[in-house]
Amino acid sequence: MEYRCGADRRSLPAGSGDVTTGAHVFAEKCAACHGVLGQGLIGDALVGGRGMLASAKPKRTVGSYWP
């Protein structure tokens, strides 16, 4: 199954999971683009951005909205 990023969650595996399962899915399907720590490589960063929303080029991540 191919995973694609997106807020629609259609690309996520069916059902529910736990932290351990999610870590394995992320390592296998997401880290190549988003970085091992979510720092962003080819794809967007998933972490960081705290206090940047008011800047000229904000980093829009979960942390910038909900630190």
Question: What CATH number is attached to the domain comprising 30?
Answer: 1.10.760.10
Is 48 inside any structural domain? yes
pLDDT in tens, 47-63: 888 888 888 988 888 78
Asked whether the beta carbons of 35 and 27 are under 8 A apart, the reply is no
Is 38 inside any structural domain? yes
Is 26 inside any structural domain? yes
Phi-psi region of 42 (alpha: psi -120 to 50; beta: other; left: phi over 0): alpha
Is 12 inside any structural domain? no
Domain region containing 48: 19-65
Rounded distance between C-alpha atoms, residue 18 and residue 21, angstroms: 5
Task: Decide if pLDDT at 3 tops 80.
Answer: no
Task: Decide if pLDDT at 4 tops 80.
Answer: no
Is 3 inside any structural domain? no
| pLDDT for res 20 | 92
Is 1 inside any structural domain? no
pLDDT in tens, 7-34: 555 666 677 788 898 899 889 888 888 8
Count of structural domains within the chain: 1
Alpha carbon separation from 19 to 9, 36, 48, 50, 52 (Å, rounded): 17, 15, 20, 23, 28
| pLDDT for res 67 | 66
Is 13 inside any structural domain? no
Of 65, 3, 63, residue with least CA distance to 37? 63
pTM over 0.75: no
